[in-house]
Structure 1
Amino acid sequence: MNQRVIKLLVLILIVGMFGFFGYSLVSKGKHTDIGDKAYNFELPKIDGSNTKLSDYKGKVVILNYFASWCAPCKEELPELEAFQKDYGDQYPFLMINRGETIDKINKVTDHNKAGMNYLFDYNAKVSKLYNVTGQPETFVIDKQGTIREHFNGPVTEMQLYNWAKKYDK
């Protein structure tokens, strides 16, 4: 009787393990993270045209996910604008908004007086591929198209510059 119980428990354990691994494989979505090749996307810009990540091939690119209602995003905005002004020509800096309209961002940025590169991920499809869970989140992509940094929370101009310089090889 004791062996029968042990065999049954082992069988349940094995079936449970296969079930867990099977579920893990099926539920694992396509996404990228540090060390992976960055997913090439195409998103609308604030001026109505589209841009692709591949447009910046061979450059260190920084992506920053934000929302207009996000308090930490508002706090970091002057730092991001300073980076764009000082280093934006050398290191493309793309601000990606999830779910808000161009009109909304134009309104809160006073028609983009700072000249930021705003992109719009309306259905959050790209943010899901990049495992974005909130805002602000920042990614640094090296010249070979590999994600090198993924930072949750507000960043400073110097953090961005140091990351960009580190991967500008």
Structure 2
Amino acid sequence: MIKKIFVLLFLIPVFAYGQDKEVEVGDKVPDFTFAVSKTKNASIKDYRGKYVLIVFFATWCGPCIQELPHVEEQIWDVYKDNPDFELMVFGREHTWEEVDKFKAMKNFDMPFYPDPDRNVFSKFATKYIPRSFLIDKDGNIIYKTIGFTTEEFEKLVAKIKSDLASQ
């Protein structure tokens, strides 16, 4: 009996630690599929060969609402026609109806995708939004942000600019 209790006491913290694992700069992007429309799915593997910026947000999140206009103006408007760049904005715990309504209400043009069950988000982290992950052409995570500050956002924009300019 004591042996079982010891094993449980040892495994619970190990299991809990593993649940907070998140991807880090230098890691390969986790494999995932997502809805690109209400009738079509895609895989992150479909975007290999491009720089991909993945942004996670929620409609109720104050820092997310602060960040998204910057994403639209400083990233999407600048790089939307660049064939080497893709932007994916995922509404964590939101449906198509919710992300479409939010997008229309805020007059955003950039692409929004639902992640109603955190299926995509859970591949990257367990908590905290907004979050952004920049992925290079080889599928490596080369930059990440947690939360929103103008200073950190400017570093992300500079990273995208320098990496796309070297193409």
TM-score by length of 2: 0.76
Q: How does 1:1-169 map to 2 (within 5 A)?
A: 20=10, 24=14, 28=18, 32-45=23-36, 48-82=39-73, 83-90=75-82, 91-110=85-104, 113-154=107-148, 158-168=154-164
State how far apart, in whole Å, the 1-side matches of 2:105 and 2:44 are: 23
Deviations 1:1-23 (A, max 9, x none): xxxxxxxxxxx9xx969x63796
**Structure 2: 5+ residue runs without aligned partners?**
none
State how far apart, in whole Å, the 2-side matches of 1:118 and 1:102 are: 9
Q: Which moved more, 1:136-145 or 1:156-165?
A: 156-165
State how far apart, in whole Å, the 1-side matches of 2:12 and 2:147 are: 34
Tell me which amino acid in the other structure corresponds to 1:165: K
How many residues in Structure 1 have an aligned counterpart in Structure 2? Answer: 156
C-alpha contact (below 8 Å) 1:94/1:117 kept by paired residues: yes
C-alpha contact (below 8 Å) 1:46/1:117 kept by paired residues: no
Tell me which amino acid in the other structure corresponds to 1:163: K
Q: What is the match of residue 7 of structure 1? A: none
CA RMSD in angstroms comes to 3.1
How far 1:137 sits from its partner (Å)? Answer: 0.4
Which has more radius of gyration? Answer: 1
Deviations 1:56-77 (A, max 9, x none): 1111111100001111111112
C-alpha distance 51-115 of structure 1, shift in aligned 2 (>3 A):
farther
State how far apart, in whole Å, the 1-side matches of 2:62 and 2:105 are: 20
C-alpha contact (below 8 Å) 2:143/2:156 kept by paired residues: no
How far 1:96 sits from its partner (Å)? Answer: 1.0
Tell me which amino acid in the other structure corresponds to 2:77: K
Q: What is the match of residue 5 of structure 1? A: none
Task: Give % identity.
Answer: 26
Tell me which amino acid in the other structure corresponds to 1:121: D
Tell me which amino acid in the other structure corresponds to 1:62: L
